Structure 1
Amino acid sequence: MTLISLFAALTAVGAFISIPLYPVPLTLQTLFTLLAAMTLGSVMGASSQIIYVLLGVIGLPVFAGFKAGIGILFGPTGGFLLGFIVCAFIVGKIMELKNEKNIFYYLGAGLIGTIILYIIGITQLSLVTGIGIKKAIAVGMLPFLPGDILKIIAVSFIASKLKPIIELK
């Protein structure tokens, strides 16, 4: 339970480290979502993201731009927030499939999780704003790809070193 809470808090901190782009801000939330999934597994990783989202829904300003409330989930960025939960669960499941993992396994899991996150986030961005899928990709994905690739690389190395330590506890 402590690790779940820790990763929920880290995801909130990741939201505060933000470059305000419109309509989707650049944050470190994806890094902590992937790190939770890779180190805690599917259920605990997804649980950390559920707690993070619930904290924002009940009014704590833990979303990017110090925003809060259930309305955020129905706005342009709500798909990304809900996508954190799905991403964490699926990446965690991928990590549970194999005992011996090399860095490429972590990189692949991170890439799959990020693609899933984009599918959910871009879909809602397009539907809520009415801008169409191509425009949603142009404003909600393309500007973030270089940073997300760097985050996947960083989190893969961090998780590959951190996971054995967490498993010892």
Structure 2
Amino acid sequence: MTESPTTAAETPMARSPRLDATDLALIAAFAALIAVCSYLAAIPIGGAGVPLTLQGFALLLTGALLGPLRGTAAVVLYLILGIAGLPVFAGHAAGPGVFVGVTAGYLWSFPLMVLVVGLLVKYVLRGRRTNPLLVFAACVVGVVINHVGGIIGMAVVLRVGLLEAAAFDAPYWIGDFIKAAVAAVVASQVHRAFPKLLARRA
């Protein structure tokens, strides 16, 4: 029995890997970018001493450029490297103990933050992802997720109320909005130059 043209055309796609070599290279590159940005401008501010870094910029850019699957994979790879002992977290920290420290809530929120930004940019914005204002709006959602996670984490670790934890977190909002704006401009220009970047299966 001969195979129908439709079946023959679908078979290679069905057998193809979800992530190809290009996807894996992008995941590794953006995991490295997040790690590098965690070192840059690592200045402790606020009552809880959580360091201010460029990590938020890298995370937002990762979600906006790689989309939900590859973006989340890059963040998970970054976190695994830190758990394994590589000093990729802010302040050259490493190890599983960081995930129960004062910054734990921020770290735990990273995958969800990037996943949501990736979903919004890829599936909600679609052809409008070259608009920096719309990409900025998607990034702001990611910033909110990150801060909510950070506030909850500080409240648990420091054994304080949510309002007090929110006061510790407050100094970081303006900086993160600036990072979101820069990430939106960069991402929108990249999507303008490479319109099929998120057209991939990932």
Q: Smaller-chain TM-score range?
A: over 0.9
- Cα separation, 1, equivalents of 2:97 and 2:38: 17
- Which one of the candidate residues 152, 158, 164 is aligned to 1:135? 164
Q: Does 1:88 align with 2:114?
A: yes
TM-score, normalization by structure 1: 0.94
Identity of aligned residues (%): 34
CA RMSD of aligned residues (A): 1.3
- Which one of the candidate residues 87, 93, 107 is aligned to 1:67? 93
In structure 2, the partner of 1:111 is 140
SS in 2 for 1:128: helix
AA matched with 2:150: G
1:111-166 Cα shifts (integer Å, max 9, x gaps): 101001111111011111112111111112x1111111111111100000113445
The answer (yes or no) to whether the contact 1:39–1:166 under 8 Å persists in 2 is no
SS in 2 for 1:20: strand
Give ranges in structure 1 of 5+ residues lacking alignment. none
In structure 2, the partner of 1:28 is 54
Q: Which has the larger radius of gyration?
A: 2
Change (3 A) 1:83 1:166: farther
Give ranges in structure 2 of 5+ residues lacking alignment. 1-23, 198-202
In structure 1, the partner of 2:81 is 55
The answer (yes or no) to whether the contact 1:20–1:65 under 8 Å persists in 2 is no
Change (3 A) 1:166 1:2: farther
The answer (yes or no) to whether the contact 1:91–1:112 under 8 Å persists in 2 is yes
- Cα separation, 1, equivalents of 2:194 and 2:87: 29
